[in-house]
Amino acid sequence: MGDVFTADVLTAEEVAAARAVTPGCASGLIHLNHAGSSLPPQVVLDAQIGHLEAEATLGGYEAAALALDRRHAVYASIARMIGAEPNEIARTEHATAAWNTAFWSVPMSPGQRIVVHDHEYGANIVAFLAAAERRGVLIDRVPCDRFGQVDVDAVADRLARHDVALVSLTHVPTNGGLVNPAAEVGALTRAAGVPFLLDACQSVGQRRIDVDEIGCDLLSATGRKYLRGPRGTGFLYARSSLLDRLVPSQPDHHGANLVAGDRFEWIAGARRFEYWEHSVASWLGLGAAVDHALSCGVERIEATVTSRAEQLRSMLVDAGFTVYDEGLERCGIVTTATAAEPSARLQARLAEHRINATTTAPDSSRWDVERRNLPVLLRLSVHVTTTDDELSATLEVLTRGR
């Protein structure tokens, strides 16, 4: 079932305004790598640089103390964006750190199954394999349905067997434009009382996300992609009602209080998953990025990004390219290839014209690559700052010299 779009796509004037506050848009660069690392708006730089200057002139601890309210406000902003409570958010360095923190905190017994899907990110696959080795769990890969998305009936079937430790799903795969029906999976895990971990690394910032509507218990995200925050930032959402069933796997004395020399107690809320030391400047930059997205309206970002990506897909198909994105619902990631020229060459030719794109790395989504027998694809990812002119210029380079 797809979302019904009620939000308006940004007008040309609004896109121009979004570009005007994005330094990377001023230099003639065409950035179609928002799924890799997006272009931050000026407010993100200001938050980071302002804090770095405070650290340099006041001292790192003193600057952090002065920024206490702003640091706390970041949790509230993230919580507002995903329909959570501030004490359900933990700061992490990136999405994999958040995902691993969540995954390894879920109790699993030998013989229990972890229900997973082919769109999992490479790092998650490594963790599944490691858990099978260390914990004796069985990896149960549910198939895709005829649209290429997770087969929800197959998830229901697995949950009916009552031996599932965790359901894991990647909301938007790294190398494909589809959006998995996370809320349908969440309805099932909720009814079964099984923890549901959602990898929302590629969806946060470009899709409206409400953790209660989705029904996930754990959600991992990164700052630098569609959120347009700094590199080296991320967060974990952990549902408060699940906290007592989770065991943080590598705590420090920030996540736990050393109440005696031989005893610790977890601190309240999701911050038990955090480490004490972190880049305060980057965390504040992430907060600025979230506030920026909220001020634009995540629904409108979703509508704009989705429509821009569909426009690009049509242009590619019209130009004879194959588009590889599956799913009933699609997002801002567009994957394509042509028999006429290897994707790496296409990427290099785009780079010569200052157009940023990436090619897919098989290790990043190995199960999906094997299932679909995918060649290396050109990945073009759009955002609200992407214009018609940029897409036309990109197509012109791609089709030139054939």
Ligand X SMILES: Cc1ncc(COP(=O)(O)O)c(C=O)c1O
**Residue among 51, 91, 94, 271 that touches ligand X (CB under 6 A):** 94
Residue closer to ligand X by CB (options 81, 333) is 333
Minimum CB–partner distance for residue 39 and ligand X (Å): 17
Q: Which of 5, 34, 330 is closest to 181 using CA atoms?
A: 330
Residue closer to ligand X by CB (options 124, 394) is 124
Tokens of 306: 């989705």
**Residue among 199, 217, 274, 291 that touches ligand X (CB under 6 A):** 199
Residue 222 near ligand X by CB under 6 A: yes
Minimum CB–partner distance for residue 276 and ligand X (Å): 20
Minimum CB–partner distance for residue 359 and ligand X (Å): 13
Minimum CB–partner distance for residue 262 and ligand X (Å): 35
Q: Do the strands 358-359 and 378-381 form a parallel or antiparallel pair, or are they unpaired?
A: antiparallel
Residue closer to ligand X by CB (options 173, 269) is 173
Residue 170 near ligand X by CB under 6 A: yes
Residue 174 near ligand X by CB under 6 A: yes
Minimum CB–partner distance for residue 172 and ligand X (Å): 6
- CA atoms of 282 and 92, how far apart (whole Å): 11
φ, ψ of residue 91 to 5 degrees: the values are -80, 135
Element (H, E) at 274: none
Residue 325 near ligand X by CB under 6 A: no
Q: Which of 125, 176, 175, 111 is closest to 325 using CA atoms?
A: 176
Tokens of 189: 């895990």
**Residue among 9, 44, 95, 178 that touches ligand X (CB under 6 A):** 95
Residue 38 near ligand X by CB under 6 A: no
Minimum CB–partner distance for residue 267 and ligand X (Å): 24
Number of chain residues interacting with ligand X (CB under 6 A): 13
Candidates 142-150, 166-174, 268-276, 311-319 — which segment interacts with ligand X by CB under 6 A? 166-174
What is the residue type of 19?
A: R
Q: Which residue is associated with the tokens 């121009």?
A: 16
- State the alpha helices, DSSP H only, in 320-372: 343-352, 366-372
Q: Strands (DSSP E) along 22-119, which ranges?
A: 30-31, 89-92, 113-117
Residue closer to ligand X by CB (options 113, 225) is 225
Residue 121 near ligand X by CB under 6 A: yes
Tokens of 184: 């349908």
- CA atoms of 199 and 258, how far apart (whole Å): 32
Residues 227-286 that bind ligand X (CB under 6 A): 234
Q: How far is CA 316 from CA 3, 244, 322, 376, in A?
A: 25, 49, 7, 16
Minimum CB–partner distance for residue 286 and ligand X (Å): 12
Residue 96 near ligand X by CB under 6 A: yes
Q: Which of 356, 359, 382 is closest to 369 using CA atoms?
A: 359
Residue 385 near ligand X by CB under 6 A: no
What is the crossing angle of helices 343-352 and 388-399, to 10°? 120
Candidates 168-176, 249-257, 291-299, 307-315 — which segment interacts with ligand X by CB under 6 A? 168-176
Residue closer to ligand X by CB (options 75, 121) is 121
Residue closer to ligand X by CB (options 121, 237) is 121
- With the CA atoms of 283, 255, 205 and 147 taken in that order, what torsion angle do they form, in degrees rounded to the nearest 10? 150
Minimum CB–partner distance for residue 201 and ligand X (Å): 3
Contact 108, 139 (CB under 8 A): no
Residues forming the site for ligand X (CB under 6 A)? 94-96, 121, 123, 170, 173-174, 199, 201-202, 222, 234
